[in-house]
Amino acid sequence: MAEERQARSTKSDPCSGAPAAAEPTPSSSEAAGVAAKSPEPEDYHSKCVFCRIARQQEAGTELLHCENEDLVCFKDIKPAAPHHYLVVPKKHIGNCRDLKKDQIELVENMVAVGKTILERNNFTDFKNVRMGFHVPPFCSISHLHLHVMAPVDQLGFVSKLVYRVNSYWFITADYLIEKLRT
């Protein structure tokens, strides 16, 4: 198990944000050969942790019931609040900057799923909820995910900074929807 973690930590994960181990720079002829052998997008997504979770290939992650077949929801592994969930599209989308106007409905559906998950967990004070996205380069995972956190008044000092409303690094879902509309 430790060897597997060690092996995984030395490989580049397109969604982890972690750099790959240093390798020698190939010559131009070697680079052309490497480009010809580049992994297909499907292979790329097979390495993305959120794509793997969406396909239920990560045994340690429990998916919460989600009535939207295009989305999955699960608890954040480093919760900033008593209720901290991530709503993730099954289809790989890099981040909130990759979204287009025709994807407003996707963001609205993500918000609806977040509210439903909170209600199922007996949290209904929606004035004390924060839902939003980290903005690149401040994304820890390069796969679009909505943070759903409640109660916001219980965020710690560092979490208040990390999830600061409409900062350079974190925007609310409402702000994103408004930006996509314009």
* Better-predicted residue by pLDDT, 130 or 19: 130
| pLDDT tens digit sequence for 137-167 | 999 999 999 999 999 999 999 999 999 999 9
Q: What pLDDT, on the 0 to 100 scale, is given for residue 12?
A: 42
- Residues with a known catalytic role: 145
Report in angstroms the alpha-carbon separations of 110 from 21, 26, 36, 47, 176.
Answer: 35, 42, 37, 23, 12
Average pLDDT over every residue of 106-118: 98
Spatial separation of the C-alpha atoms in residues 10 and 5, rounded to whole Å: 9
| E strand or H helix that includes residue 132 | strand 130-134
DSSP class of 69: T
| pLDDT tens digit sequence for 42-78 | 566 678 999 999 999 999 999 999 999 999 999 999 9
Is the pLDDT at 35 greater than 60, yes or no?
no
The residues that bridge with 130 in the sheet, in sequence order, are 149
% of the chain beyond a pLDDT of 70: 75
